[in-house]
Amino acid sequence: MTRDLGDVLHYFIPEAGEPQGPECDADPSELRERMRPSPQGGVGPLGVIAVPLGHRDVLRATFVWNLAVEMTGQGAPTTVVVASRMAPPVWPEPGRTAMGAELVPVLADNLGDLSRAALDVAVSRAADDDPGAQVVVCIPPAWLRKAADGAAILRRVLLFTSPEPTELIETYALAKHLWGMSRETVLGVTVYGVQRVETAARAFERIAATAEKHLGCELTSYGLLVDELQIYRAIVERRPIGVAHPQSRAARSLRDVARLVLDDVTPEVDDLAPGFGPPAGLSG
């Protein structure tokens, strides 16, 4: 589904009576074209989204949990699955929270274990809760060296990156590895650590153009996240940003990312039967 990320300009345009600073100098019509993401065909049938997440990556862990809360708030009950020994301390206690999102740590020592456990959760949620239920699986990046072991949960992958060159290179390397394992993988990118849409646009364009040129892979843009001050406050407060600061730019950008992700995810309950094979074209 084609999306226009110029829609997120609302939290960069000052409210009436507010001074317009240098952050708001971008031309909306230009940015709407520059931030237009690539359409992607194919939808992962299990409603599973994989996110590479290091054990000590507090910032991305905060993004993941807040995204799960926002997706749940938009009508897609979301469960975050993580290997129990990798669960970040910034997350709530296991179980379903008051906001409806759920955290499920599972016993897993490798990607194969995590994949099987996550699929069990996905099938259970789809059958018991809602056909629109989603599962976000957090995968230690080192486990992706054997990506074939997790083919079933790597149909759709969300990568978070900042505009910093080193992070863009790391994100591209992950995308290259995953695309090399399966040409059916849908790779999405959310840019964080920016104050202007233009900065996010340039970062996404850079990595997307490189992936298209060298890999023949079209990346999907899943928006941008802003206002890290509110995000760090949420870490300290241990409360979702959308609950603690619902009108903040950070909360509004998270809601937009959740909407963009859900626009692309339409679980098909008929495909939830155990024993289905890996995506077509999977090699090695």
**pLDDT tens digits along 65-101:** 999 999 999 999 999 999 998 888 788 888 988 789 9
Average pLDDT, the chain: 78
Model confidence, pTM = 0.77
pLDDT the model gives residue 55: 83
H or E element: which one contains 147?
Answer: none
Q: Which of 8-12, 95-99, 123-127, 217-221 has the lowest mean pLDDT?
A: 8-12
Q: Which of 11-25, 53-67, 118-132, 182-196 has the lowest mean pLDDT?
A: 11-25
pLDDT the model gives residue 115: 95
Whether 44 shows a pLDDT value over 80: the answer reads no
Of 124 and 49, more confident = 49
Percent of the chain surpassing pLDDT 70: 76
| 256 vs 251: CA distance, rounded Å | 9
pLDDT the model gives residue 252: 92
Structure tokens at 107: 């016993």
pLDDT the model gives residue 266: 54
Residue 236 binned pLDDT confidence (cut-offs 50, 70, 90): confident
Report the candidate in 241, 242, 238, 239 with the shortest Cα–Cα distance to residue 229.
241
Percent of the chain surpassing pLDDT 90: 51
Of 40 and 278, more confident = 40
pLDDT the model gives residue 278: 30
Of 8 and 191, more confident = 191
What are all long-range contacts of 99-104, with beta carbons under 8 Å and residues at least 24 apart? 99/69, 99/72, 99/73, 99/240, 99/243, 100/69, 100/72, 100/73, 101/65, 101/68, 101/69, 101/71, 101/72, 101/77, 102/68, 102/77, 102/78, 103/65, 103/79, 104/79, 104/80
Q: How far is CA 229 from CA 192, 232, 252, in A?
A: 12, 5, 14
Highest mean pLDDT, choosing among 4-13, 88-97, 214-223: 214-223
What are all long-range contacts of 198-205, with beta carbons under 8 Å and residues at least 24 apart? 198/26, 198/31, 198/34, 199/163, 200/35, 200/163, 200/224, 201/5, 201/31, 201/34, 201/35, 202/163, 203/161, 203/162, 203/163, 203/168, 204/35, 204/37, 205/34
Residue 37 binned pLDDT confidence (cut-offs 50, 70, 90): very low
Residue carrying structure tokens 């950008």: 253
Q: Are 157 and 49 in contact (CB under 8 A)?
A: yes
Residue 121 binned pLDDT confidence (cut-offs 50, 70, 90): very high
Taken as a whole, the chain contains a residue count of: 284
Residue carrying structure tokens 């520059």: 34
pLDDT the model gives residue 1: 34
Q: Which of 41-50, 97-106, 227-236, 238-247 has the lowest mean pLDDT?
A: 41-50
| pLDDT tens string 133-178 | 899 999 999 999 988 899 999 999 999 999 999 999 999 999 999 9
pLDDT the model gives residue 86: 87
